[in-house]
Chains A and B, each alone.
Chain A
Amino acid sequence: MHSADRILEVGSLVKYFAVFERGIFRKKTVGQVHAVDNVTFHIFTGETLGLVGESGCGKTTAGKVILMLEPPTSGSIRFEGKDVVDTFDNGNQDEMKQLRRGMQMVFQNPYNSLDPRMTVYDIISEAFVIHKHIPKNQWTDRVYELLRMVNLEEYHAERYPHEFSGGQRQRIAIARALAVDPKFVILDEPVSSLDVSIRAQILNLLIDLQKKERLSYLYISHDLSSVRQISQRVAVMYLGEIVELASANELFDRPLHPYTQALISAVPVPDPEHKTTRIILPGEVPSPINPPKACRFHPRCPYASDICKEVAPTFEDRLVTGHFVACHHADKFV
């Protein structure tokens, strides 16, 4: 199923946000938010990589940085082998546009991600206006085609976003992303604000489109159930770092990192006979401004020992091939 090709390669990606204190004339940097801290992963062509974590773990920021909506502090991003950061640094308009066509994003909030003053037609055709990759006389046909692909009707093109429900708006957002014929789409919590009965519609649509259009996805979410549904491989983020990465089934059935275990056990299972042995983590998610030293999870980890406070664990698949984890005690769980 996976080709050997890696459509996206992210290497040691770092994104820090400066925290300011405003004086009268100057701003003083008093700290850094370690939003994304040395993240490395790759996505094969045609696969979906799920990226899970709770708020503040950096997954949304990672998505934005990959698309260069925010410049990275350091690290490399390669799309189809091309260096993305370099291209944007050089300012080469043509190459930047090419990249923009290759990678797209569907945002979380369907109520904010469509310009309320534009018709659906305008929203979708904006891609054509910017990239001009389709001759003008074919625009209407292509818009209708895209609408059909997301199970909407042609007459919807004349309407405004506020006339649609949340689920329909997400479809429009998906159609817009597809308008540039991308190869890779980042989906940032696309179904979190939707009702349960609508979520399945959108998830199935995304899976369908992936097969038909041969797309690769980065599926970012805090909802583990939907992540399992759509992803082939899953990465777990905590406080800016990836702590575990494995195939979906492997990760969910045999999690090796204590955080992943707690995360999975915390999700309520729609089965009354399932005995929840919840691993309750003490305390709150610490602030990414001053993350704990060494293993960032050690203050809340039920298995933490001295080494966890001193030495940062390496991210490796030593124990099970293809199953990467950053934990000193992972061997306990194999």
Chain B
Amino acid sequence: MDDRLLEISNLRTYFFTEAGVVKALDGMSLVVNKGQAVGLVGESGSGKSVTAQSVLRIVPRPGRIVDGSVKFEGEELLTKKEDEMRKLRGPKMAIVFQDPTTSLNPLYTVEKQLTDILMLHRDLSKESASKQALHLLDRVGIQDPERRLKTYPHELSGGMKQRIAIARALACDPGLLFADEPTTNLDVTIQAQVLELLKQLQKELKMTMVMITHDMGIIADMTERVTVLYAGKVMEVAETPTLFKSPKHPYTEALLKAVPSVKQTRTLEVIPGNIPNLIEPPTGCVFHPRCKYAKDICVKKEPELEKVAEGHYAACHFWRELELGPGRGT
């Protein structure tokens, strides 16, 4: 119990738009222990980014957290006032966003972006903040940090910008880091650099990291435990190796079989249909329209997240009966 850094229960975050109420997260639960690297995998509309936003309480309008509980270090976050949350954002928890071009302020130098946070939360003088900023740049592997401090974001490449975004997130040594698709916009070789960096930092700083991505390869490489999200609901939770070897949810199996691998050529299995409309999601099990094992009950009744084994949960009526294959080619 003491080990739980973050505990999300039954979180519901809805977006109240003109077209209707978009149920971005509809009863999502997640437990992250201290020092773990956890994955949150899903496609667009799964609610993975909204999860991070909800924890930090920065859900953009017209979104609103309508139900559930988010406990951080034992304290309930959803009842906190805004100034209390502000004290947490930075020193306790931080996010690295997907696109560093928009997440860094184009008007300020690198130095200013980092020292701003340091001076705000740590009450440092400008000189000590600058020194600390230099140290941060060094830690994220930026060459020639003195010179880089004075540059503007647009003068830097994508990979470097993302490193600075990481530096900024880590400036106040947060215990919890959300990485929201941090490498999706980057070139493959740069992605490798940034992923290695994150891996390294996580080990060094013993940081708890939630890696949000749609890429099963990144999940396999960077995480110990993984939660599979689909249309705002949790489909499966397991240790990473278990998820890949013996998935218990049809969506997980389908995802694994639909992903091409650079290691081998094989026939991809197609998941028919499209991502559902979150304003009027399917009844019963939200995956049923696309599930090849769906039966009547799947249309009528929403499955609960049931325990499959120690640490392994699946939300499917038939997880016991189904013999789901592993993802790696057959």
Contacts and interface: CB of A to CB of B under 8 A. Distances in A.
Note whether A and B form a binding pair. yes
Interface of A: 54-55, 165, 167-168, 195-201, 203-204, 222, 224-226, 228-229, 248-249, 252, 262-274, 276, 278-281, 284-285
Contacts of B254: 197
Contacts, number: 137
Candidate in B187, B260, B268 with the most chain A CB atoms within 10 angstroms: B260
Interface in B53-88: none
Interface of B: 43-44, 157, 159-160, 187-193, 195-196, 214-222, 240-241, 244, 254-256, 258-265, 268-272, 274-275, 290, 327-328
Contact of A280 (B44, B192, B275): B192
A68 B328 CA distance: 41
Contact of A266 (B188, B269, B272): B188
Contacts of A197: 43, 254-255, 258, 271, 275, 290
A228 B262 CA distance: 6
Contact of A263 (B189, B193, B327): B189
B98 to A, nearest CB: 14
A285 B294 CA distance: 48
Contact of A269 (B220, B268, B275): B220
B240 A54 contact: no
Given A226-B260, A268-B220, 4 more contacts: A55-B187, A225-B217, A276-B221, A284-B157
A273 B221 CA distance: 9
Contacts of A55: 187
13 contacts: A168-B274, A195-B44, A197-B43, A199-B260, A200-B258, A200-B270, A264-B262, A267-B217, A270-B219, A272-B240, A272-B241, A278-B192, A280-B196
A200 to B, nearest CB: 4
Contacts of A269: 217, 220-221, 261-263
A284 B190 contact: yes
A264 B241 CA distance: 22
B253 to A, nearest CB: 12
Contacts of B270: 200-201, 204
Contact of A272 (B192, B195, B220): B220
Contact of B260 (A201, A225, A249, A271): A225
A274 B220 CA distance: 8
Contact of A200 (B196, B221, B271): B271
Report the 6 A-B pairs with minimum CB-CB distance, sorted nearest first: A268-B217, A266-B192, A54-B187, A270-B216, A200-B258, A225-B260
B44 A272 contact: no
B69 to A, nearest CB: 30
Nearest to B275: A195
Nearest to A222: B188
Contacts of B221: 268-269, 272, 276
B187, B244, B269, B275 pick with most chain A CB within 10 angstroms? B187
